[in-house]
Amino acid sequence: MDKRVKSLVWSFLTAFLFLSLSGTLYSQTASQPSNQSSLSSQDLSLVKPPVPSGPALVGLPSVAPVVEKSKAAVVNIITMKTTRRGPMGRRFRSPSPSPSPNNPFPPDSFFEDFFGFPQAPPRVYRERALGSGFIFDKDGYIITNNHVVEGADEIKIVLDDKQEIAAEIVGRDPKTDLALIKLSKPGVYPFITFGDSEKVQIGDWLVAIGNPFGLDHTVTTGILSARGRSIGAGPYDDFLQTDASINPGNSGGPLLNLNGEVVGINTMIIAGGNGIGFAIPSKLAEKIVAKLRSTGHVERGWIGVVIQPVTPEIEKSLGLGEGVKGALIGQVLKDTPAEKAGLKHGDIVTSFDGRAIGDFSELSSVVADTAVGKTVNIDILRDNKKMTLKITVDRLEDESDPVSGAESSNADLGLTLREITPDLAQRLGVPESSGLLVEQVVPSSLADVAGLRARDVILEVDRKEIKTQRDFNAAIRAVPKGQPALLWVRRGERTIYCPLNLE
């Protein structure tokens, strides 16, 4: 082949290869969006979202198994309570312008305003209330809050199958707001068991079942928000806090873990709060319920002190080192174990019966758990010096006793009493602390049958002098079974005896 022909062939092949390559590049460019640059597969891998290296995310746990396991043991509680109320506003005045045998108090006097004379007859009301509870024993024992059943004349339990059964109170503990009741109909009932409230961690899922606003067996969920909450409800505050919805009517219902075990008893909410509810820990509830079941009441130790926390300001003012733990004694009550042991205000209790006191509120619980009559060591700081004293624990008066507190009523006796203050003593014309004032007597009650009247002053019970509510409680408990208590009473200028039948 001559040189001219070879030159034409190579020119033709070169042109063919050029056109072929141009077409390929054009087709690749045309297949991409006009506003994006061409990227290689390696470049594209750089803009892909990273793949998590850990386990894949899953949905929230279903609480259906918990509800299925527990719902049959949750009950609705309906109570009926009879109350007597006088008319609203100022009570009727005596028309007589001067004292009379029937009205020993002069017109416009303190007692004419305070007690009123003559009084309008009280009106009787029947109040209906709702609450929740749960069966924890096959024999039909139910736990609920004390405030759900306190003062109730009638208690009706509505089971999950809508069966209605009457119940009776076995025991109450106002200080922890717990009550134990029992179904009156014998049978084998579904029940749920206690879990360990100490093992529940903040953030764990919880389930509440109850009767809010009468909506029976309502289920709500949330988490444990906090533990060890002290909210001023009582001396033994140790609440679990949860954001599971708790509303009026939930009181006494169970707070369950995901195993269907009771870790708390729903008790209260903060008014106006959203997602702030409180429950009594199962650890405390189990202990209280066991005592109620065996004796019908809770006996607690008591030493007779008023305590408060040791704040940084108190540390500085007392010349203490930083971080001192314990309970500061603000007051030592008279004629108490604390006074007899030699405790003084300003002492800091650091240990009781070998148990260290961290937060000041721990002292109340430790003393309450100590057996009545037991003598123990109490370690204190006094003037920055360590001391150890011996103290014998006494019995704390139970709020469910016949009378307790500065002013208290007892449904069994039909009696409301008040300790006499200096002002009352002056107006009554009697020595201070000379007895208990009868403030109210319920018609047809035991006190009424005994002949007690409003404005009487109880001086003695079975020849034992009465000065305080504590004296009265102790004297009533000491009356032999089947015998009446002989009350010596001041009525106006006279003193009389009133036999009070306690049965």
Tell me which residues are annotated as active site. 147, 177, 251
Q: Is the preceding peptide bond at 190 cis, omega within 30 degrees of 0? A: no
Burial-class residue 428 by CB neighbours within 10 Å (0-12, 13-18, 19+). buried
Residue 263 near residue 240, CB atoms below 8 Å? yes
d(CA 92, CA 89): 9
Residue type at 249? G
SS3 content of the chain, % helix, strand, coil (to 5): 20, 35, 45
Q: Copy the structure tokens of residue 97.
A: 């312008």
CA distance 440 to 444: 12
Nearest CA-CA partner of 255 in 408, 433, 74: 74
Query: Residue 359 contacts by C-beta under 8 Å, 6 or more apart in sequence?
Result: 309, 325
Q: Euclidean distance between the first and final Cα of the chain, in Å?
A: 142
Give the integer Cα–Cα distance in Å for 73 and 183: 12
Among candidates 205, 211, 199, 214, which has minimal Cα distance to 242? 205
C-alpha distance from residue 386 to each of 294, 340, 349, 353, 361 (Å): 40, 19, 10, 15, 21
Q: Is 483 helix (H, G, I), strand (E, B) or coil?
A: coil
Q: Based on the number of CB atoms within 10 Å of its own CB, is 89 exposed (0-12), middle (13-18) or buried (19 or more)?
A: exposed
Q: What angle do CA 417, 482, 446 make, to 5 degrees?
A: 35
- Which stretches within 64-223 are classed as H helix? 64-70, 110-114, 146-149
Reference 180, options 131, 126, 224, 144; nearest CA is 144
Residue 151 is given by DSSP the state T
Cβ atoms of 276 and 269 within 8 Å: the answer is yes
Query: Any idea what the Cα angle at residue 476 is, between residues 169 and 295, rounded to 5°?
Result: 35
Asked if 298 and 275 count as a contact pair (C-beta separation under 8 A), the reply is no
